[in-house]
Amino acid sequence: MRYLIFISIINFLFTQEILDRLIVPIYYQFNFSSGYDSNIFSYSNKEIENKEVGSGALGKIKYYDSDYHSPQFKLIYSPVLLDQYETNFIIQLKNKIYRTYSLKNTISTSSKFEIKFASYHWLKVGYMFSPNNYVKRFQDVDISSNEYFDCKYSTSKGFISYSLPLNKKNWTRISWEISNYFYNPHFTEFDTRSHEFNWYLSHKLNKKVRYGITVGIGDGNNISYANGLISTEQNRSFRTANLKYSRSQYGFKLLGISKLYSSYSLDYRSYLNEFIDDPLHSGRIHYDHQIYTSITKKINSNFSINGFAKYRIRQTFSEFQWVEDLKSFNKVDFGIKLTWKGVYDIYR
């Protein structure tokens, strides 16, 4: 009897109608980027001038710059869960490989669920995890030694966003993110949980030109502050704000360019610590400027080529000149990205 009930339940769950809803084409995308980064460790000019190859501060690091390769794979699965709403499940895997220093290599995974209630009405939730991110070498202030250690961290991010139209030419999106940064045992004093709220507005000037602006605020809570170790006596919590402006233009006749994109972003960070005994963080402020541009040429419906370039400069302000010299840096990143898109249909 139990066996018959079990078979009946299976038959009910996997009727042809249910299978037709679940067995749908799966879209996939493969990106391969190759580029050059002029300052992979975000060293300041003073650090570059003072560090010597083979010293404890550098270890096996011989070059400050590097070329890199970055493969990325994405799957989009869109089952018909609800008749009136579109739903998508998106999974991505990304790897970044540096030729000159393998410890700098990263890998990350992300997943996202989207549901569309009406035109431009999207609710999205997602999660990203990257287990191994290399920073640079530091001394561990919790032990009596001049030895330097590799500093690494893992990061995870969860987010939720909702977008909606304002009129025929404008739509907007609000999002909330929670991120965790957990460092390796020598540097747990930097463990941080951050919250960030962003508002985005998109304006369609005409069929070929669109503008976007993002405004955000956030905070970073130093969750390991005052946990008993000497290194945690300083509070490394901070407040953030960000502003981003972007412009997209489509359909160029010249050289068959399908899209020209450019953006400028400004990120602000202010540390909350005001104790003079912690000059490295007391009253410290960052202004992080980034200029980005890219050109995309669509070869056919499945293949495109994208060239990109980014210039970043971080300006640090502090009561102490040596802090400004230590924490300010600039870098250039440019390269090319190839994109293949395809679909797998089980019924073919």
**Any idea where the domains of the chain sit in the sequence?**
2-342
Of residues 91 and 228, the one with the higher pLDDT is 91
DSSP string, 66-116: EEEEEEEEEEEE----BTTBEEEEEEEEEEEEESS-GGG-EEEEEEEEEEE
Element (H, E) at 323: helix 321-327
Q: How confident is the model at residue 345 (pLDDT cuts 50, 70, 90)?
A: confident
What integer pLDDT is reported at residue 20 of this predicted model?
A: 60
pTM: 0.89
Beta-carbon contacts of 187 under 8 Å, excluding residues fewer than 6 positions away, are 138, 140, 149, 151, 153, 231
Per-residue pLDDT tens digits for 155-180? 999 999 999 999 999 999 999 999 99
3-class state of residue 119 by DSSP: coil
Element (H, E) at 275: none
Per-residue pLDDT tens digits for 212-264? 999 999 999 999 998 888 888 888 999 999 999 999 999 887 777 899 999 99
What integer pLDDT is reported at residue 229 of this predicted model?
A: 86
What integer pLDDT is reported at residue 7 of this predicted model?
A: 55
List beta partners, residue 73.
30, 93
Residue 348 exposure: Cα atoms within 13 Å on the Cβ side = 6
The 10 Å CB-count burial string (b at 16+, else e) for 244-280 is bebebbeeeeeeeebbbbebebebebebbbeeeebee
Q: Token pair for residue 8?
A: 């009946």
Beta-carbon contacts of 50 under 8 Å, excluding residues fewer than 6 positions away, are none
List beta partners, residue 331.
312
Q: How confident is the model at residue 334 (pLDDT cuts 50, 70, 90)?
A: very high
The residue count for the chain: 348
Of residues 131 and 9, the one with the higher pLDDT is 131
What integer pLDDT is reported at residue 43 of this predicted model?
A: 93
Q: How confident is the model at residue 3 (pLDDT cuts 50, 70, 90)?
A: low
Q: What percent of the chain has pLDDT over 70?
A: 93
Beta carbons of 295 and 254 less than 8 angstroms apart: no
The DSSP output letter for 8 is H
Residue 276 has pLDDT above 80, yes or no: no
Q: What percent of the chain has pLDDT over 90?
A: 68
Per-residue pLDDT tens digits for 176-189? 999 999 999 999 99
Average pLDDT of the segment spanning 76-102: 91
Residue 2 has pLDDT above 70, yes or no: no
Q: Token pair for residue 160?
A: 């939720």
Dihedral sign computed on CA atoms, order 264, 270, 271, 277: positive
Q: How confident is the model at residue 269 (pLDDT cuts 50, 70, 90)?
A: very high
- Give the fold, CATH level 3, of 2-342: Porin (2.40.160)
Per-residue pLDDT tens digits for 190-209? 999 999 999 999 999 998 99
Tokens 């890199």 — which residue? 68
Of residues 40 and 8, the one with the higher pLDDT is 40
3-class state of residue 38 by DSSP: coil
Q: How confident is the model at residue 8 (pLDDT cuts 50, 70, 90)?
A: low
Distance CA 324, CA 316 (A): 5
Per-residue pLDDT tens digits for 57-67? 788 888 999 99
3-class state of residue 4 by DSSP: helix
Distance CA 74, CA 126 (A): 14
Paired sense of beta strands 238-250 and 192-204, if any: unpaired
Distance CA 154, CA 232 (A): 19
Q: Token pair for residue 120?
A: 């431009």
Q: Token pair for residue 250?
A: 């489509």
Residue 30 has pLDDT above 90, yes or no: yes
